[in-house]
Amino acid sequence: MASKLYISAYTDIYRELHQPVLITAGCFSAIAVILSIYLILQHLRSYTNPAEQKWIVAVVFMVPVYATESIISLCVRRLSLACDILRNCYEAFALYSFGSYLVACLGGERRVIELLENKSRKQLGKPLLEGADENHSVEQRSFRNFFFRPCTLGKELLVIEKFGLVQYMILKMVCAFLAFLLELFGVYGDGEFKWYYGYPYIAVVLNFSQMWALYCLVKFYNVTHERLQSIKPLAKFISFKAIVFATWWQGVGIALLCAFGILPKEGKVQTGLQDFLICIEMAIAAIAHVYVFSAEPYHFLPVAEYGKITTETTKEAVKLEQGHDEKPAVLESTETEAEAPGTSVRESVQEIVLEGGQHVVKDVVLTFNQAIGPVEKGVTKIQETFHQKSVGSDDQHVEEESELKVEQHVEANLGES
């Protein structure tokens, strides 16, 4: 009886709060979407550095995706799981995009490899000239150094970083599809930490996968942050990591509070609270992105590039001291810039989709090859072992047969004599 009264009271409170919560969340979502779309359009109109800006657009687009899906989930509760799945899929892609953005800011993969190899040589000492030194270098570049001395890994650090990001992107999408299938059969149990539901197992897998991806990104950032100072990487890293890390653990925390009875165990409370908080957080993130991922650095190009050349001259009055006298003087400085011509938004979007898609496919294929490679080597070794054993047993059988024939021949000769 008490439980029924509790549920009835909870239902009344939920109905009273739902409309004001929806209005508040809608306002924050509108702010997030408007600011993010405005920033994206700025980048698309000044699309002067495709290698970097295509990934910036992908990262910034995470905010309107989160805000839109959260407000839809609040309005239509039956779509909450579908919105959560789509949100999680894009989160994985945004994490991959941020890693690709850092690589692009360093000049591309080739320059990153050169940078990492140079750092590795400095850490390991002299250049590799002899075979003994090479063997020593191989030992120094073992995987355990990824945790303690990542600078010694060289180009392998980039491979590990890309593998960490892509594995999370793949696992996130696979788990999202699996969650959808389990929900269709009624055994997913969103937010339920019970052994007969799929949610806790998927949550554990995604937790380890995300932690590994973020750890790889942090290690890569720690090695290359000196070369990234021009883009103020720390602010970008914190603003992005806060979205990915906080929203995930926020959802797990709310689920745990519901599981322990601190919050009502009704599903709409858990999903509704998560969606409401995300709407507020995305508005804050959108404001941060306007400053952190500003399109202003891409409005101008070096003078050697094409565009409208502008010259700005500044004059400042100063006083020069000569002995006990002061003489007035004018300090003049001239700065010349080439303004980048505006680009078509449609062309920019096409380039982002095509080039970005090709880049993602290439990295996914590379990750699959890296994952399958050790398995193939293991299978090959097992086959070789069985082959050697089978060949050895055949040779032993042949030797036994030849010895038996010799004995029979000797016995026959003795019998004749």
pLDDT of residue 130: 45
Q: What tokens appear for 35 in the block?
A: 């600011």
* Sheet (strand 325-339) strand order: 300-301, 325-339, 308-322
pLDDT of residue 51: 86
- Inter-residue contact 60 to 36 (CB < 8 Å): yes
- pLDDT value at 316 more than 70: no
pLDDT of residue 304: 42
Residue whose C-alpha is closest to residue 36's, from 220, 181, 243: 243
- Annotated domain spans of the chain: 2-299, 308-339, 345-417
pLDDT of residue 151: 78
Q: 373 to each of 20, 141, 145, 366, 379, how far by Cα in Å?
A: 55, 19, 21, 10, 10
- pLDDT value at 125 more than 80: no
Q: What tokens appear for 165 in the block?
A: 């990001």
pLDDT of residue 327: 65
pLDDT of residue 120: 81
Tell me which of 415 and 79 has the higher pLDDT.
79
Mean pLDDT of all residues belonging to the chain: 75
- Inter-residue contact 286 to 88 (CB < 8 Å): no
Q: How far is CA 241 from the centre of its chain?
A: 10
Q: 235 to each of 163, 232, 238, 288, 363, how far by Cα in Å?
A: 24, 6, 5, 9, 27
Tell me which of 203 and 9 has the higher pLDDT.
203
Q: Using one digit for the tens of pLDDT, what is the confidence trace for 193-236?
A: 788 888 889 988 988 888 888 888 888 888 888 888 888 888 88
pLDDT of residue 128: 46
pLDDT of residue 306: 46
pLDDT of residue 65: 92
pLDDT band, very low/low/confident/very high, at 309 (cuts 50, 70, 90): low
Lowest mean per-residue pLDDT among 12-16, 41-45, 66-70 = 12-16
- Inter-residue contact 321 to 17 (CB < 8 Å): no
- pLDDT value at 19 more than 70: yes
- pTM to 2 decimal places: 0.71
Q: What percent of the chain is modeled with pLDDT above 90? A: 11
Across the range 39-59, mean pLDDT stands at 89
- pLDDT value at 8 more than 80: no
pLDDT of residue 368: 58
2-299 fold: Rhopdopsin 7-helix transmembrane proteins (1.20.1070)
Q: Using one digit for the tens of pLDDT, what is the confidence trace for 252-305?
A: 788 778 777 777 766 567 778 888 888 999 999 999 999 999 988 887 654 444
Cα(377)–Cα(137) distance, integer angstroms: 23
Q: What percent of the chain is modeled with pLDDT above 70? A: 62
- pLDDT value at 131 more than 50: no
Tell me which of 355 and 40 has the higher pLDDT.
40
Tell me which of 231 and 404 has the higher pLDDT.
231
The 8 Å CB, 24+ separation contacts for 265-272 are 266/7, 266/10, 266/14, 267/190, 267/191, 268/14, 268/77, 269/10, 269/14, 270/190, 270/191, 271/73, 271/77, 271/80, 271/84, 271/190, 271/191, 272/18, 272/21, 272/74, 272/77
pLDDT of residue 285: 92
Q: Using one digit for the tens of pLDDT, what is the confidence trace for 141-158?
A: 566 777 777 777 788 888
pLDDT of residue 303: 42
Tell me which of 151 and 166 has the higher pLDDT.
166
- pLDDT value at 27 more than 90: yes
